[in-house]
Amino acid sequence: GAGVSQSPSNKVTEKGKDVELRCDPISGHTALYWYRQSLGQGLEFLIYFQGNSAPDKSGLPSDRFSAERTGGSVSTLTIQRTQQEDSAVYLCASSLDSSYSGEQFFGPGTRLTVL
């Protein structure tokens, strides 16, 4: 595909369950970002991957959140023991340029609802 894809598009889960969100970046893009957008809020940076380097996890809100990127391509964001405040739209973006000058391209997002 030509763009960033994310799956699932919607996820409803019960409090306390674990969830996995997937992001497929644009082919060849070395940088990958995860953001969270809560209802009525701006985008909150979560984590950044650049190639095979160790990710910048400075934005992760708690140790229940983790992410990995396999083979420098697909990324999975995992939320353990979900809480109601985790309900939000989780957006993934990728960028071609590794020199911090690149344009970000976003996926459609995964809407997570924790009951």
Partner 1 sequence: KQEVTQIPAALSVPEGENLVLNCSFTDSAIYNLQWFRQDPGKGLTSLLLIQSSQREQTSGRLNASLDKSSGRSTLYIAASQPGDSATYLCAANYGQNFVFGPGTRLSVLP
Tell me the two tokens of residue 44: 């909150």
Decide: 6 and 93 in contact? Cβ < 8 Å: no
To partner 1, the closest distance from the beta carbon of 87 in angstroms equals 15
> Using the rule CB under 8 A, is 20 a contact of partner 1?
no
9 vs 99: CA distance, rounded Å? 31
Q: Give long-range contacts, CB 8 A cutoff, 24+ apart: 44-47.
A: 46/77, 46/90, 47/77
> Using the rule CB under 8 A, is 34 a contact of partner 1?
no
From the list 15, 18, 45, 68, which residue makes contact with partner 1 (rule: CB under 8 A)?
Answer: 45
From the list 11, 22, 43, 74, which residue makes contact with partner 1 (rule: CB under 8 A)?
Answer: 43
Q: Which is nearer to partner 1, 80 or 102 (CB)?
A: 102
What residues have CB less than 8 Å from 28, skipping those under 6 apart?
Answer: 96
From the list 2, 39, 58, 63, which residue makes contact with partner 1 (rule: CB under 8 A)?
Answer: 58
* Beta-carbon count within 10 A of 8 CB: 13
Ranges within 93-112 binding partner 1 (CB under 8 A): 93, 100-101, 103-109
Chain residues binding partner 1 by CB under 8 A are 4, 33, 35, 41-43, 45, 48, 50, 56, 58-59, 91, 93, 100-101, 103-109
